[in-house]
Amino acid sequence: MNKPKVVVLGAGYGGLITVNRLSKLVGVNDADITLVNKNDYHYETTWLHEASAGTLHHDKCRYQIKEVISSRVNFVQDTVTAIKPEEKKIVLEKGELDYDYLVVSLGSQPETFGIQGLKEYAFGITNINAARQLREHIELQFATYQTEEVKQDDRLTIVVGGAGFTGIEFLGELSNRVPKLCREYDIDPKKVRIICVEAAPTALPGFDPELVEYAVNHLERKGVEFKIGTAIKECTEDGIVVAKDDHMEEIKAGTVVWAAGVRGNSVVEEAGFENMRGRVKVTPDLLAPGHKDVFIIGDCSLIINEEINRPYPPTAQIAMQQGETCAKNLSVLIKGQGEMEGFKADIKGTVASLGEDDAVGTVFGKKLVGTKASFMKKMIDNRALYMVGGPGMVMKKGKFKFF
């Protein structure tokens, strides 16, 4: 019998853990493993707020995929354009692939909720290209300001849409970067405005209120203005339109950053799997309902936290744990031995950075703030490097500047 072909789509946290664990669990004669990714590098999505603000070079956030996968894995650098589950086929920009078992781990895309102008005028914190573009755009605004005869102060206003974890972490980096940009471009810091617009009645909705207060106070001290309970309604070339209760307001800004939520990859929606905003509610063994050969993990999957009967927020923590379970379940199917295991998320905590030297979080049920939390965040970042690339990758890309 021919060896089964396993195809893994996406070399993010979920996809890389899956191929690395699977290549240890099944022998070369048991299965062919192919990994498809649009770039030849993996990026740490969880560090993109730093690259976007310009506080960490984007090359520190990425590494070559071939450095961390086994030589037995066939790596294909290409973009997935369609999944055809009925034909067991993947359509790529430059070709096609057949599979016996498929793992979809293509991550997320920004959710713009149909708000006018966001796609055209707002920047996102989504990948290395977007991060580079945003960092350069902000810097160009500072440089351009000094060349103008009639100074446009609005050019130096930066609006961040959403005070979820992405928005808050980006604000932490940005509020550290702006004073440096002001010095570099001889600009009075008072001319710069950083405004965060959040639709919910609080920043970091659902997070511990004491930690939210710490984060907001910390960022306000660094000059961030919060507009809470205020929704972005439109984005234009000149800024945004917001609404609080019945009151509409226009905020002029040189930079608008949309960090107000994500949805699963559109390829998943278009493949015909039943989904909610691109996320498929998978079975306990991580299969797409009705498909015995398609696993969906990471941000493309939706799993329910039974304790509160609500979906878990999509995180790298869960994507990596799903990668482990997915590899075990694939090996059961390939070998035809044993039983697939049900996925159980093991949430160790959540830490949000507030710039390089401060953070807030809960770890193993304990609340942490300040340098302790910041130290923990760097440990979590290093752990992700270790899980995928081992100690060598931690030495190469790890974060060791603690205080």
Q: Which of residues 217-276 bind ligand NAD (CB under 6 A)?
A: 231-232, 259-262
Q: How far is the CB of 46 from ligand FAD (least distance, A)?
A: 3
Distance CA 297, CA 314 (A): 10
Nearer to ligand NAD, 115 or 326 (CB): 115
Does residue 316 interact with ligand FAD by CB under 6 A? yes
200 contacts which partner out of ligand NAD, ligand FAD, none, CB within 5 to 8 A by kind?
ligand NAD
* Long-range CB contacts (within 8 A, 24+) of 88-94: 88/293, 90/7, 90/9, 90/36, 92/36
Give residue number: closest CB to ligand FAD. Answer: 12
Contact by Cβ (8 Å): 121, 109: no
Q: How far is the CB of 110 from ligand FAD (least distance, A)?
A: 9
Does residue 331 interact with ligand FAD by CB under 6 A? no
- Let me know if 169 is a catalytic residue: yes
Does residue 164 interact with ligand NAD by CB under 6 A? yes
Task: Tell which one of 25, 91, 130, 200 touches ligand NAD (CB under 6 A).
Answer: 200
Does residue 199 interact with ligand NAD by CB under 6 A? yes
Q: Which of residues 235-274 bind ligand FAD (CB under 6 A)?
A: 265, 267
Task: Tell which one of 19, 48, 181, 199 touches ligand FAD (CB under 6 A).
Answer: 48
Distance CA 193, CA 224 (A): 7
Could you tell me the strand order of the sheet in which 239-244 lies? 231-236, 239-244, 247-252
DSSP letters for 352-379: EESSTT-EEEEETTEEEEHHHHHHHHHH
**3-class state of residue 183 by DSSP:** helix
Task: Tell which one of 7, 26, 73, 80 touches ligand FAD (CB under 6 A).
Answer: 80
Of the candidate spans 44-52, 147-155, 333-341, 385-393, the one that interacts with ligand FAD by CB under 6 A turns out to be: 44-52
Closest to 17 measured CA to CA, from 390, 397, 394, 398: 390
**3-class state of residue 270 by DSSP:** helix
Residue with the two structure tokens 């969880």: 46
Task: Tell which one of 6, 12, 222, 302 touches ligand FAD (CB under 6 A).
Answer: 12
Does residue 117 interact with ligand FAD by CB under 6 A? no
Tokens standing for residue 314: 């999509």
**3-class state of residue 21 by DSSP:** helix
Per DSSP, what are the bridge partners of residue 140? none
Does residue 163 interact with ligand NAD by CB under 6 A? yes
Q: At a CB cut-off of 8 Å and minimum separation 6, what does 308 contact?
A: none
Is the torsion defined by CA of 130, 135, 136, 141 positive or negative?
positive
* Catalytic option among 44, 169, 269, 356: 169
Give residue number: closest CB to ligand NAD. Answer: 164
**Residues at the site binding ligand NAD, with contacts judged by CB under 6 A:** 115, 161-167, 169, 197-200, 205, 231-232, 259-262, 313-315, 350-352
Active site positions, annotated: 169
